[in-house]
A and B are shown apart, each in its own frame.
Chain A
Amino acid sequence: MSILVILEQQASQWHRMSWETLAAGQQLGAALDEPVDAAVVGKGVGALANEAAAKKLAKVWAVEHDLLDSYTADGYAVALEHLIQKTQPKLVLFPHTYQVRDFAPKLATRFSQVLVSDVIAARVDAGTLTLVRQFFQGKLSGDVRVSGEGPVFASLQAGAWRADTLESGSAGVQAFTPVLDAAQIRQKPETPFREAARAVDLTAAEIIVSVGRGIREQSNLPVVEDLAKAFGAELAASRPICDAGWLPMERQVGSSGQTVAPKLYVAVGISGAIQHLVGMKGAKTIVAINKDPNAPIFEVADYGIVGDLFEVAPALAAEVRKAKG
Protein backbone atom coordinates (compact mmCIF):
# COMPACT_ATOMS: atom_id res chain seq x y z
CA MET A 1 0.00 0.00 0.00
CA SER A 2 1.27 3.44 -0.86
CA ILE A 3 0.39 6.80 -2.32
CA LEU A 4 1.06 7.23 -6.03
CA VAL A 5 1.48 10.73 -7.46
CA ILE A 6 1.10 11.05 -11.23
CA LEU A 7 3.34 13.83 -12.54
CA GLU A 8 2.57 15.55 -15.84
CA GLN A 9 5.05 16.39 -18.56
CA GLN A 10 4.76 17.39 -22.18
CA ALA A 11 7.68 17.30 -24.62
CA SER A 12 10.02 16.81 -21.62
CA GLN A 13 8.74 19.96 -19.87
CA TRP A 14 7.12 19.62 -16.47
CA HIS A 15 3.62 20.89 -15.91
CA ARG A 16 4.19 23.19 -12.92
CA MET A 17 1.22 21.67 -11.05
CA SER A 18 3.14 18.37 -10.88
CA TRP A 19 5.20 19.75 -7.98
CA GLU A 20 2.15 20.98 -6.08
CA THR A 21 0.65 17.50 -6.38
CA LEU A 22 3.90 15.94 -5.18
CA ALA A 23 3.89 18.26 -2.15
CA ALA A 24 0.32 17.14 -1.37
CA GLY A 25 1.47 13.52 -1.72
CA GLN A 26 4.27 14.07 0.79
CA GLN A 27 1.91 15.70 3.29
CA LEU A 28 -0.75 13.00 2.96
CA GLY A 29 1.94 10.31 3.10
CA ALA A 30 3.02 11.67 6.48
CA ALA A 31 -0.58 11.94 7.73
CA LEU A 32 -1.53 8.43 6.57
CA ASP A 33 1.85 6.92 7.40
CA GLU A 34 2.27 5.57 3.88
CA PRO A 35 5.26 5.62 1.51
CA VAL A 36 4.90 7.94 -1.50
CA ASP A 37 5.79 6.98 -5.07
CA ALA A 38 5.69 9.20 -8.14
CA ALA A 39 5.22 8.25 -11.78
CA VAL A 40 6.23 10.03 -14.99
CA VAL A 41 4.56 8.83 -18.18
CA GLY A 42 5.84 9.21 -21.74
CA LYS A 43 8.70 8.27 -24.02
CA GLY A 44 12.26 9.09 -22.97
CA VAL A 45 11.32 10.44 -19.56
CA GLY A 46 14.45 9.14 -17.78
CA ALA A 47 15.90 12.59 -17.13
CA LEU A 48 12.60 13.84 -15.71
CA ALA A 49 12.32 10.76 -13.49
CA ASN A 50 15.82 11.43 -12.16
CA GLU A 51 14.84 15.01 -11.39
CA ALA A 52 11.76 13.83 -9.46
CA ALA A 53 13.91 11.31 -7.60
CA ALA A 54 15.68 14.21 -5.86
CA LYS A 55 12.51 14.73 -3.82
CA LYS A 56 11.60 12.85 -0.65
CA LEU A 57 9.90 9.79 -2.17
CA ALA A 58 10.04 6.03 -1.85
CA LYS A 59 10.32 5.43 -5.59
CA VAL A 60 9.90 7.09 -8.97
CA TRP A 61 8.38 5.06 -11.77
CA ALA A 62 9.48 5.92 -15.30
CA VAL A 63 6.48 4.64 -17.28
CA GLU A 64 7.78 4.45 -20.82
CA HIS A 65 6.56 3.20 -24.18
CA ASP A 66 6.90 4.36 -27.80
CA LEU A 67 3.09 4.61 -27.94
CA LEU A 68 3.12 7.11 -25.05
CA ASP A 69 5.17 9.66 -27.00
CA SER A 70 2.08 11.80 -27.75
CA TYR A 71 -0.61 11.96 -25.10
CA THR A 72 -3.78 9.97 -25.78
CA ALA A 73 -6.53 9.16 -23.29
CA ASP A 74 -6.50 5.50 -24.31
CA GLY A 75 -2.72 5.12 -24.05
CA TYR A 76 -2.43 6.80 -20.67
CA ALA A 77 -5.39 4.92 -19.20
CA VAL A 78 -3.94 1.52 -20.17
CA ALA A 79 -0.39 2.39 -19.04
CA LEU A 80 -1.50 3.66 -15.62
CA GLU A 81 -4.01 0.85 -15.18
CA HIS A 82 -1.09 -1.59 -15.45
CA LEU A 83 1.10 0.40 -13.07
CA ILE A 84 -1.68 0.61 -10.48
CA GLN A 85 -2.38 -3.12 -10.76
CA LYS A 86 1.30 -3.75 -10.10
CA THR A 87 1.82 -1.27 -7.25
CA GLN A 88 -1.62 -1.47 -5.57
CA PRO A 89 -1.62 2.08 -4.15
CA LYS A 90 -4.19 3.19 -1.61
CA LEU A 91 -4.42 6.69 -3.04
CA VAL A 92 -3.60 8.05 -6.51
CA LEU A 93 -3.12 11.81 -6.85
CA PHE A 94 -3.13 13.84 -10.06
CA PRO A 95 -2.76 17.55 -10.84
CA HIS A 96 -6.19 18.75 -12.05
CA THR A 97 -5.02 19.64 -15.56
CA TYR A 98 -6.93 19.48 -18.85
CA GLN A 99 -5.01 16.30 -19.65
CA VAL A 100 -5.93 14.62 -16.36
CA ARG A 101 -9.58 15.59 -16.86
CA ASP A 102 -9.38 13.75 -20.18
CA PHE A 103 -8.09 10.35 -18.98
CA ALA A 104 -8.33 10.03 -15.18
CA PRO A 105 -12.14 9.47 -15.04
CA LYS A 106 -11.68 6.60 -17.52
CA LEU A 107 -8.85 5.14 -15.44
CA ALA A 108 -10.87 5.34 -12.21
CA THR A 109 -13.83 3.61 -13.91
CA ARG A 110 -11.58 0.65 -14.68
CA PHE A 111 -11.22 0.15 -10.92
CA SER A 112 -14.99 0.71 -10.31
CA GLN A 113 -14.00 3.97 -8.65
CA VAL A 114 -14.86 7.64 -9.11
CA LEU A 115 -12.24 10.35 -9.53
CA VAL A 116 -12.75 13.05 -6.91
CA SER A 117 -11.85 15.99 -9.11
CA ASP A 118 -10.61 19.51 -8.45
CA VAL A 119 -9.84 18.88 -4.78
CA ILE A 120 -8.86 21.96 -2.74
CA ALA A 121 -7.96 20.36 0.61
CA ALA A 122 -7.65 17.00 2.32
CA ARG A 123 -7.97 15.96 5.95
CA VAL A 124 -7.02 12.77 7.73
CA ASP A 125 -8.98 12.00 10.91
CA ALA A 126 -8.06 8.73 12.63
CA GLY A 127 -6.80 7.28 9.37
CA THR A 128 -9.90 8.30 7.39
CA LEU A 129 -9.36 10.57 4.39
CA THR A 130 -11.80 13.40 3.68
CA LEU A 131 -11.41 15.33 0.43
CA VAL A 132 -12.75 18.87 0.08
CA ARG A 133 -13.92 20.13 -3.29
CA GLN A 134 -16.02 22.97 -4.61
CA PHE A 135 -19.55 22.83 -5.94
CA PHE A 136 -21.59 25.34 -7.93
CA GLN A 137 -18.49 26.96 -9.44
CA GLY A 138 -17.01 27.72 -6.03
CA LYS A 139 -20.18 29.03 -4.37
CA LEU A 140 -20.19 26.04 -1.97
CA SER A 141 -17.56 23.68 -0.62
CA GLY A 142 -18.18 20.07 0.29
CA ASP A 143 -16.55 17.16 2.09
CA VAL A 144 -16.31 13.95 0.08
CA ARG A 145 -15.52 10.45 1.34
CA VAL A 146 -14.63 7.51 -0.86
CA SER A 147 -15.36 3.88 -0.06
CA GLY A 148 -15.19 0.68 -2.08
CA GLU A 149 -12.44 -1.59 -3.29
CA GLY A 150 -9.53 -0.18 -5.19
CA PRO A 151 -7.59 3.01 -4.73
CA VAL A 152 -9.00 6.46 -4.08
CA PHE A 153 -8.43 8.69 -7.11
CA ALA A 154 -8.19 12.46 -6.61
CA SER A 155 -7.11 15.37 -8.82
CA LEU A 156 -5.89 18.51 -7.05
CA GLN A 157 -6.71 22.08 -7.95
CA ALA A 158 -4.00 24.50 -9.09
CA GLY A 159 -2.60 26.46 -6.16
CA ALA A 160 -4.33 24.36 -3.47
CA TRP A 161 -0.98 22.98 -2.29
CA ARG A 162 2.29 24.87 -2.42
CA ALA A 163 5.23 23.47 -4.36
CA ASP A 164 7.68 25.36 -2.12
CA THR A 165 6.85 23.02 0.76
CA LEU A 166 8.34 20.06 -1.17
CA GLU A 167 10.92 18.12 0.80
CA SER A 168 14.12 16.94 -0.89
CA GLY A 169 15.44 13.43 -0.69
CA SER A 170 16.86 10.67 -2.77
CA ALA A 171 14.62 8.03 -4.33
CA GLY A 172 15.32 5.16 -6.68
CA VAL A 173 14.07 5.28 -10.28
CA GLN A 174 12.45 2.16 -11.63
CA ALA A 175 11.47 1.66 -15.27
CA PHE A 176 8.02 0.28 -16.02
CA THR A 177 7.00 -0.80 -19.51
CA PRO A 178 3.24 -1.21 -19.85
CA VAL A 179 1.86 -3.78 -22.27
CA LEU A 180 0.42 -1.53 -24.94
CA ASP A 181 -0.75 -2.26 -28.46
CA ALA A 182 -1.32 0.38 -31.17
CA ALA A 183 -4.83 -1.04 -31.74
CA GLN A 184 -5.81 -0.04 -28.18
CA ILE A 185 -5.24 3.64 -28.95
CA ARG A 186 -8.19 4.99 -30.89
CA GLN A 187 -7.44 8.72 -30.71
CA LYS A 188 -5.03 9.95 -33.40
CA PRO A 189 -3.59 13.26 -32.16
CA GLU A 190 -2.05 15.87 -34.44
CA THR A 191 0.59 18.44 -33.48
CA PRO A 192 -0.64 21.08 -30.99
CA PHE A 193 -0.92 24.63 -32.34
CA ARG A 194 -1.73 28.19 -31.30
CA GLU A 195 -4.39 30.18 -33.14
CA ALA A 196 -2.38 33.35 -33.67
CA ALA A 197 0.44 35.31 -32.14
CA ARG A 198 -0.76 37.36 -29.20
CA ALA A 199 -0.76 41.06 -29.83
CA VAL A 200 -1.67 41.84 -26.24
CA ASP A 201 0.64 40.64 -23.50
CA LEU A 202 -1.47 40.92 -20.36
CA THR A 203 1.33 39.39 -18.30
CA ALA A 204 3.30 42.63 -18.69
CA ALA A 205 0.45 44.88 -17.49
CA GLU A 206 0.84 46.55 -14.08
CA ILE A 207 -2.86 47.22 -13.71
CA ILE A 208 -5.67 45.16 -15.23
CA VAL A 209 -9.37 45.96 -15.28
CA SER A 210 -11.24 42.77 -16.09
CA VAL A 211 -14.88 42.37 -17.04
CA GLY A 212 -17.26 39.42 -16.72
CA ARG A 213 -20.83 38.35 -17.37
CA GLY A 214 -22.17 41.10 -15.12
CA ILE A 215 -21.71 43.55 -18.01
CA ARG A 216 -24.71 41.81 -19.64
CA GLU A 217 -24.35 43.28 -23.16
CA GLN A 218 -21.58 44.23 -25.52
CA SER A 219 -23.00 47.74 -25.80
CA ASN A 220 -22.27 48.21 -22.08
CA LEU A 221 -18.51 47.67 -22.50
CA PRO A 222 -17.64 51.41 -22.59
CA VAL A 223 -18.41 51.49 -18.84
CA VAL A 224 -15.41 49.27 -18.10
CA GLU A 225 -13.29 50.64 -20.95
CA ASP A 226 -13.54 54.03 -19.32
CA LEU A 227 -12.61 52.60 -15.93
CA ALA A 228 -9.54 50.92 -17.50
CA LYS A 229 -8.61 54.26 -19.08
CA ALA A 230 -8.90 56.03 -15.72
CA PHE A 231 -6.59 53.48 -14.08
CA GLY A 232 -4.21 53.43 -17.07
CA ALA A 233 -4.93 49.71 -17.17
CA GLU A 234 -5.11 46.96 -19.78
CA LEU A 235 -8.62 45.66 -20.33
CA ALA A 236 -9.13 41.92 -19.81
CA ALA A 237 -12.13 39.61 -19.50
CA SER A 238 -13.39 36.29 -18.21
CA ARG A 239 -14.12 33.54 -20.66
CA PRO A 240 -17.82 34.15 -21.45
CA ILE A 241 -17.03 37.66 -22.70
CA CYS A 242 -14.41 36.37 -25.15
CA ASP A 243 -16.57 33.40 -26.18
CA ALA A 244 -19.32 35.84 -27.09
CA GLY A 245 -16.81 37.72 -29.24
CA TRP A 246 -17.26 40.96 -27.28
CA LEU A 247 -13.51 41.10 -26.64
CA PRO A 248 -10.77 39.19 -28.47
CA MET A 249 -9.58 35.84 -27.04
CA GLU A 250 -6.15 37.30 -26.37
CA ARG A 251 -7.69 39.40 -23.57
CA GLN A 252 -8.96 36.36 -21.70
CA VAL A 253 -7.63 35.65 -18.21
CA GLY A 254 -7.95 32.16 -16.77
CA SER A 255 -6.99 28.54 -17.26
CA SER A 256 -7.74 28.65 -20.98
CA GLY A 257 -6.36 32.20 -21.38
CA GLN A 258 -3.48 34.08 -19.83
CA THR A 259 -2.16 33.81 -16.28
CA VAL A 260 -1.44 37.26 -14.90
CA ALA A 261 0.07 38.71 -11.71
CA PRO A 262 -0.28 42.52 -11.95
CA LYS A 263 0.09 44.81 -8.97
CA LEU A 264 -3.61 45.67 -9.21
CA TYR A 265 -6.44 43.56 -10.65
CA VAL A 266 -9.93 45.05 -10.71
CA ALA A 267 -12.60 42.39 -11.38
CA VAL A 268 -15.85 43.98 -12.56
CA GLY A 269 -18.94 41.78 -12.73
CA ILE A 270 -16.86 38.60 -12.51
CA SER A 271 -18.27 35.94 -10.17
CA GLY A 272 -14.92 34.18 -9.89
CA ALA A 273 -15.30 30.63 -11.23
CA ILE A 274 -12.16 28.69 -10.46
CA GLN A 275 -11.13 28.70 -14.13
CA HIS A 276 -10.85 32.47 -13.84
CA LEU A 277 -9.32 32.57 -10.35
CA VAL A 278 -6.36 30.37 -11.28
CA GLY A 279 -5.43 32.95 -13.90
CA MET A 280 -5.37 36.00 -11.60
CA LYS A 281 -5.12 35.07 -7.93
CA GLY A 282 -1.40 35.84 -8.01
CA ALA A 283 -2.16 39.57 -8.39
CA LYS A 284 -0.70 41.68 -5.58
CA THR A 285 -3.92 43.58 -4.88
CA ILE A 286 -7.34 42.39 -6.01
CA VAL A 287 -10.48 44.54 -6.13
CA ALA A 288 -13.88 42.98 -6.79
CA ILE A 289 -17.05 44.76 -7.82
CA ASN A 290 -20.05 42.44 -7.86
CA LYS A 291 -23.71 42.54 -6.93
CA ASP A 292 -23.60 39.11 -5.23
CA PRO A 293 -21.91 39.31 -1.80
CA ASN A 294 -21.39 35.52 -1.90
CA ALA A 295 -19.61 35.54 -5.28
CA PRO A 296 -16.39 33.47 -5.02
CA ILE A 297 -14.37 36.44 -6.34
CA PHE A 298 -14.65 37.98 -2.85
CA GLU A 299 -12.70 35.03 -1.45
CA VAL A 300 -9.56 36.24 -3.17
CA ALA A 301 -10.29 39.99 -3.13
CA ASP A 302 -8.48 42.41 -0.81
CA TYR A 303 -11.08 45.12 -1.36
CA GLY A 304 -14.66 44.81 -2.48
CA ILE A 305 -17.72 46.81 -3.34
CA VAL A 306 -21.02 44.95 -3.34
CA GLY A 307 -23.23 46.80 -5.76
CA ASP A 308 -24.41 47.49 -9.27
CA LEU A 309 -21.40 47.79 -11.53
CA PHE A 310 -23.22 50.31 -13.73
CA GLU A 311 -23.22 52.69 -10.76
CA VAL A 312 -19.95 51.68 -9.14
CA ALA A 313 -17.66 51.60 -12.20
CA PRO A 314 -18.36 55.20 -13.33
CA ALA A 315 -18.11 56.46 -9.73
CA LEU A 316 -14.80 54.64 -9.32
CA ALA A 317 -13.46 56.03 -12.61
CA ALA A 318 -14.30 59.54 -11.40
CA GLU A 319 -12.61 58.99 -8.01
CA VAL A 320 -9.50 57.50 -9.62
CA ARG A 321 -9.18 60.50 -11.94
CA LYS A 322 -9.62 62.82 -8.96
CA ALA A 323 -6.93 60.98 -6.96
CA LYS A 324 -4.49 61.07 -9.86
CA GLY A 325 -5.10 64.78 -10.29
Chain B
Amino acid sequence: MKIIVAIKQVPMRDSALHPAASGKWIDEADLSFEINEPDAYALEEALQLKEKHGGEVVVLCAGPERAVQTIREALAKGADRAIHIETDALASLDTLGVAKLLAAAVAPEKPDLILTGLQSDDLGAGQTGVVMAELLGFPHSTIIMQVEAREAGIRVKRELENGWFQHIEIPLPAVLAMQSGSNKLRYATLMGIKKAKTKEIRRVTPAELGGTAAAVATIEKVYLPQKSKQTQIFQGDAKTAAAQLVEKLKFEARVL
Protein backbone atom coordinates (compact mmCIF):
# COMPACT_ATOMS: atom_id res chain seq x y z
CA MET B 1 0.00 0.00 0.00
CA LYS B 2 1.37 3.39 -0.97
CA ILE B 3 0.35 5.89 1.67
CA ILE B 4 0.79 9.66 1.64
CA VAL B 5 0.60 11.42 4.99
CA ALA B 6 -0.10 15.15 4.82
CA ILE B 7 1.39 16.87 7.85
CA LYS B 8 1.61 20.47 9.01
CA GLN B 9 4.09 22.26 11.22
CA VAL B 10 2.38 24.42 13.87
CA PRO B 11 3.52 26.49 16.88
CA MET B 12 4.18 24.36 19.96
CA ARG B 13 1.14 23.72 22.06
CA ASP B 14 2.08 25.90 25.04
CA SER B 15 3.31 28.87 22.97
CA ALA B 16 2.43 32.38 24.13
CA LEU B 17 0.66 33.86 21.11
CA HIS B 18 0.46 37.50 20.11
CA PRO B 19 -1.10 39.11 17.03
CA ALA B 20 1.54 40.41 14.58
CA ALA B 21 1.82 44.12 13.80
CA SER B 22 -0.30 43.61 10.68
CA GLY B 23 -3.04 42.22 12.93
CA LYS B 24 -3.79 39.55 10.35
CA TRP B 25 -1.85 36.65 11.86
CA ILE B 26 0.35 35.89 14.85
CA ASP B 27 3.87 37.12 15.40
CA GLU B 28 5.96 34.01 14.69
CA ALA B 29 9.34 35.53 15.61
CA ASP B 30 9.97 33.86 18.97
CA LEU B 31 7.97 30.68 18.49
CA SER B 32 9.10 27.07 18.37
CA PHE B 33 7.29 24.68 16.07
CA GLU B 34 6.29 21.03 16.07
CA ILE B 35 4.18 18.57 14.10
CA ASN B 36 0.44 19.22 14.31
CA GLU B 37 -0.71 16.63 16.85
CA PRO B 38 -3.56 15.03 14.83
CA ASP B 39 -1.09 14.66 11.93
CA ALA B 40 1.28 12.76 14.24
CA TYR B 41 -1.52 10.21 14.74
CA ALA B 42 -2.10 10.04 10.98
CA LEU B 43 1.61 9.30 10.53
CA GLU B 44 1.49 6.62 13.21
CA GLU B 45 -1.46 4.91 11.51
CA ALA B 46 0.38 5.01 8.17
CA LEU B 47 3.51 3.44 9.69
CA GLN B 48 1.44 0.68 11.31
CA LEU B 49 -0.38 -0.04 8.04
CA LYS B 50 2.98 -0.31 6.29
CA GLU B 51 4.26 -2.71 8.94
CA LYS B 52 1.19 -4.92 8.42
CA HIS B 53 0.79 -4.74 4.66
CA GLY B 54 4.09 -3.46 3.27
CA GLY B 55 4.40 -0.56 0.86
CA GLU B 56 5.66 2.95 1.20
CA VAL B 57 4.93 5.96 3.42
CA VAL B 58 5.50 9.37 1.83
CA VAL B 59 5.30 12.52 3.95
CA LEU B 60 3.80 15.61 2.33
CA CYS B 61 4.19 19.01 3.95
CA ALA B 62 3.59 22.57 2.80
CA GLY B 63 5.42 25.27 4.71
CA PRO B 64 8.51 27.45 4.93
CA GLU B 65 12.13 26.32 5.25
CA ARG B 66 11.70 25.62 8.98
CA ALA B 67 9.20 22.82 8.19
CA VAL B 68 12.18 20.65 7.17
CA GLN B 69 12.79 19.98 10.86
CA THR B 70 9.31 18.46 11.27
CA ILE B 71 9.68 16.51 8.02
CA ARG B 72 13.01 15.04 9.24
CA GLU B 73 11.35 13.94 12.46
CA ALA B 74 8.66 12.12 10.46
CA LEU B 75 11.36 10.41 8.38
CA ALA B 76 13.18 9.45 11.58
CA LYS B 77 10.04 7.75 12.83
CA GLY B 78 9.99 5.58 9.71
CA ALA B 79 8.49 7.39 6.72
CA ASP B 80 10.37 6.49 3.53
CA ARG B 81 10.65 9.84 1.81
CA ALA B 82 9.08 13.29 1.74
CA ILE B 83 7.74 16.01 -0.51
CA HIS B 84 8.15 19.54 0.80
CA ILE B 85 6.08 22.24 -0.89
CA GLU B 86 8.25 25.15 0.08
CA THR B 87 6.35 28.38 0.60
CA ASP B 88 6.51 31.32 2.99
CA ALA B 89 3.00 32.35 2.05
CA LEU B 90 1.01 29.57 3.75
CA ALA B 91 -0.85 32.00 6.01
CA SER B 92 -2.09 33.99 3.01
CA LEU B 93 -3.72 30.92 1.43
CA ASP B 94 -7.14 29.60 2.39
CA THR B 95 -8.03 25.92 2.76
CA LEU B 96 -8.84 25.59 -0.90
CA GLY B 97 -5.53 27.15 -1.90
CA VAL B 98 -3.52 24.82 0.35
CA ALA B 99 -5.52 21.77 -0.72
CA LYS B 100 -4.91 22.63 -4.40
CA LEU B 101 -1.14 22.63 -3.83
CA LEU B 102 -1.28 19.36 -1.87
CA ALA B 103 -3.53 17.70 -4.47
CA ALA B 104 -1.24 18.79 -7.32
CA ALA B 105 1.75 17.28 -5.52
CA VAL B 106 -0.12 14.05 -4.72
CA ALA B 107 -1.67 13.34 -8.14
CA PRO B 108 1.48 12.07 -9.95
CA GLU B 109 2.31 9.82 -6.95
CA LYS B 110 -0.85 7.73 -7.55
CA PRO B 111 -1.23 6.73 -3.88
CA ASP B 112 -3.61 4.09 -2.52
CA LEU B 113 -4.36 6.05 0.60
CA ILE B 114 -3.90 9.61 1.87
CA LEU B 115 -3.99 10.19 5.62
CA THR B 116 -4.04 13.47 7.46
CA GLY B 117 -5.01 14.73 10.91
CA LEU B 118 -8.62 15.81 11.28
CA GLN B 119 -7.66 19.42 11.99
CA SER B 120 -4.70 21.69 12.55
CA ASP B 121 -3.97 23.11 15.98
CA ASP B 122 -3.45 26.60 14.51
CA LEU B 123 -6.21 27.31 11.96
CA GLY B 124 -8.45 24.48 13.11
CA ALA B 125 -10.54 24.55 9.92
CA GLY B 126 -10.60 20.74 9.78
CA GLN B 127 -11.11 20.59 6.04
CA THR B 128 -7.84 20.13 4.17
CA GLY B 129 -8.22 16.34 3.76
CA VAL B 130 -11.82 16.53 2.61
CA VAL B 131 -11.13 19.31 0.10
CA MET B 132 -8.07 17.45 -1.21
CA ALA B 133 -10.23 14.34 -1.72
CA GLU B 134 -12.78 16.33 -3.70
CA LEU B 135 -10.07 17.90 -5.88
CA LEU B 136 -8.53 14.48 -6.58
CA GLY B 137 -11.91 12.81 -7.13
CA PHE B 138 -11.23 10.35 -4.27
CA PRO B 139 -13.79 9.25 -1.67
CA HIS B 140 -13.10 10.26 1.91
CA SER B 141 -14.14 9.81 5.50
CA THR B 142 -13.30 11.82 8.61
CA ILE B 143 -12.73 11.46 12.36
CA ILE B 144 -11.32 7.97 11.81
CA MET B 145 -10.15 5.83 14.74
CA GLN B 146 -9.07 2.61 12.95
CA VAL B 147 -8.26 1.43 9.45
CA GLU B 148 -8.47 -2.21 8.28
CA ALA B 149 -7.40 -3.30 4.83
CA ARG B 150 -10.02 -5.32 2.97
CA GLU B 151 -9.79 -7.26 -0.26
CA ALA B 152 -11.38 -4.37 -2.13
CA GLY B 153 -10.65 -1.14 -0.32
CA ILE B 154 -10.68 -0.46 3.40
CA ARG B 155 -13.06 -0.61 6.35
CA VAL B 156 -12.72 2.27 8.82
CA LYS B 157 -14.11 3.02 12.25
CA ARG B 158 -15.51 6.53 12.29
CA GLU B 159 -16.35 8.44 15.45
CA LEU B 160 -19.83 9.93 15.70
CA GLU B 161 -21.01 12.24 18.47
CA ASN B 162 -21.94 11.31 22.05
CA GLY B 163 -19.96 8.08 22.24
CA TRP B 164 -21.31 6.49 19.04
CA PHE B 165 -19.19 4.91 16.30
CA GLN B 166 -19.76 3.52 12.85
CA HIS B 167 -17.88 1.28 10.44
CA ILE B 168 -17.71 2.39 6.82
CA GLU B 169 -16.30 0.59 3.78
CA ILE B 170 -14.56 2.73 1.18
CA PRO B 171 -12.83 1.78 -2.08
CA LEU B 172 -9.24 2.90 -2.71
CA PRO B 173 -7.73 5.33 -3.44
CA ALA B 174 -9.24 7.30 -0.57
CA VAL B 175 -8.50 10.14 1.85
CA LEU B 176 -8.98 9.73 5.61
CA ALA B 177 -8.88 12.47 8.26
CA MET B 178 -7.62 10.76 11.41
CA GLN B 179 -8.78 11.41 14.96
CA SER B 180 -6.11 11.93 17.62
CA GLY B 181 -5.42 9.44 20.33
CA SER B 182 -6.40 6.12 18.76
CA ASN B 183 -2.81 4.84 18.64
CA LYS B 184 0.21 5.24 20.84
CA LEU B 185 2.74 7.48 19.13
CA ARG B 186 6.22 6.05 18.60
CA TYR B 187 9.46 7.85 19.26
CA ALA B 188 12.20 8.06 16.69
CA THR B 189 15.05 5.64 17.42
CA LEU B 190 18.69 6.64 17.18
CA MET B 191 18.97 4.41 14.12
CA GLY B 192 15.89 6.11 12.66
CA ILE B 193 17.36 9.55 13.18
CA LYS B 194 20.58 8.46 11.49
CA LYS B 195 18.75 6.91 8.54
CA ALA B 196 16.54 9.99 8.11
CA LYS B 197 19.58 12.01 7.09
CA THR B 198 19.91 10.02 3.89
CA LYS B 199 16.22 9.88 2.99
CA GLU B 200 14.92 11.93 0.09
CA ILE B 201 13.14 15.24 0.69
CA ARG B 202 11.97 16.47 -2.69
CA ARG B 203 11.37 20.21 -2.70
CA VAL B 204 8.78 21.71 -5.00
CA THR B 205 7.61 25.28 -5.34
CA PRO B 206 3.99 26.40 -5.64
CA ALA B 207 4.85 27.64 -9.16
CA GLU B 208 5.84 24.09 -10.19
CA LEU B 209 2.44 22.91 -8.93
CA GLY B 210 0.47 25.34 -11.06
CA GLY B 211 0.74 28.40 -8.84
CA THR B 212 -1.36 29.60 -5.95
CA ALA B 213 -4.98 30.63 -6.21
CA ALA B 214 -6.18 33.88 -4.64
CA ALA B 215 -7.91 33.21 -1.32
CA VAL B 216 -11.70 33.48 -1.21
CA ALA B 217 -11.74 33.39 2.61
CA THR B 218 -9.36 35.88 4.21
CA ILE B 219 -8.53 36.57 7.83
CA GLU B 220 -9.00 40.30 8.38
CA LYS B 221 -7.82 40.41 11.97
CA VAL B 222 -6.84 38.13 14.85
CA TYR B 223 -7.18 39.21 18.47
CA LEU B 224 -7.47 37.91 22.03
CA PRO B 225 -11.00 36.64 22.66
CA GLN B 226 -13.44 38.94 24.39
CA LYS B 227 -14.45 37.36 27.64
CA SER B 228 -18.10 36.52 27.94
CA LYS B 229 -17.92 35.99 31.67
CA GLN B 230 -16.26 37.96 34.45
CA THR B 231 -13.90 35.52 36.15
CA GLN B 232 -12.84 36.19 39.73
CA ILE B 233 -9.17 35.25 39.93
CA PHE B 234 -7.69 34.55 43.36
CA GLN B 235 -4.13 35.68 43.91
CA GLY B 236 -1.43 34.84 46.38
CA ASP B 237 0.17 31.55 47.31
CA ALA B 238 -1.73 28.31 46.77
CA LYS B 239 -3.09 28.11 50.32
CA THR B 240 -4.34 31.73 50.37
CA ALA B 241 -5.94 31.46 46.93
CA ALA B 242 -7.55 28.11 47.80
CA ALA B 243 -8.99 29.54 51.04
CA GLN B 244 -10.48 32.53 49.18
CA LEU B 245 -11.97 30.22 46.56
CA VAL B 246 -13.59 27.94 49.14
CA GLU B 247 -15.05 31.00 50.89
CA LYS B 248 -16.70 32.06 47.62
CA LEU B 249 -17.90 28.55 46.78
CA LYS B 250 -19.51 28.31 50.19
CA PHE B 251 -21.08 31.76 50.63
CA GLU B 252 -21.42 33.25 47.14
CA ALA B 253 -21.98 30.32 44.77
CA ARG B 254 -23.42 28.20 47.61
CA VAL B 255 -22.24 24.93 46.08
CA LEU B 256 -20.40 23.51 49.09
Residues of A in contact with B (beta carbons under 8 Å apart)? 73-74, 77, 97-99, 101-103, 105-106, 108-110, 112-118, 130, 134-148, 186-195, 198, 207, 231, 239-240, 242-244, 249, 255-259, 263-264, 284-285, 287-288, 292-294, 296, 298-308, 311-312, 314-316, 318-320, 322-324
Contacts and interface: CB of A to CB of B under 8 A. Distances in A.
Given A101-B142, A136-B121, A255-B161, A190 B167 contact: yes
B227 A299 contact: yes
B14 A292 contact: yes
A315 B256 CA distance: 16
A186 B133 CA distance: 12
Most chain A beta-carbon neighbours within 10 Å: one of B125, B130, B135, B219: B130
B42 interface: no
A193 B166 contact: yes
Contacts of A198: 163
B166 A143 contact: no
B248 A303 contact: yes
Contact of A145 (B17, B127, B166, B218): B218
B242 A109 contact: no
Contacts of B26: 136, 140
B156 to A, nearest CB: 9
A323 B256 contact: yes
B249 A98 contact: no
B107 interface: no
B238 A105 contact: no
B8 to A, nearest CB: 13
A259 to B, nearest CB: 8
Interface of B is mostly: mixed
A319 B246 contact: yes
A307 B216 contact: no
Interface string B151-173: 00000000111111111111100
Contacts of A304: 231-234
B168 A105 contact: no
17 contacts: A101-B127, A105-B95, A109-B134, A136-B11, A137-B121, A139-B17, A140-B19, A147-B216, A192-B166, A256-B162, A294-B224, A298-B231, A302-B231, A303-B248, A305-B233, A319-B243, A323-B249
B245 interface: yes
Contact of B229 (A117, A301, A320): A301
A203 to B, nearest CB: 11
Nearest to A243: B181
B251 to A, nearest CB: 10
B255 A112 contact: no
Interface string B174-213: 0000001110000000000000000000000000000000
Contacts of B17: 136, 139-140
Given A187-B168, A189-B168, A311-B238, A147 B225 contact: no
B223 A190 contact: no
A191 B164 CA distance: 10
Contacts of B219: 142-144
B53 to A, nearest CB: 21
A288 B245 CA distance: 11
Contact of B250 (A140, A315, A323): A323
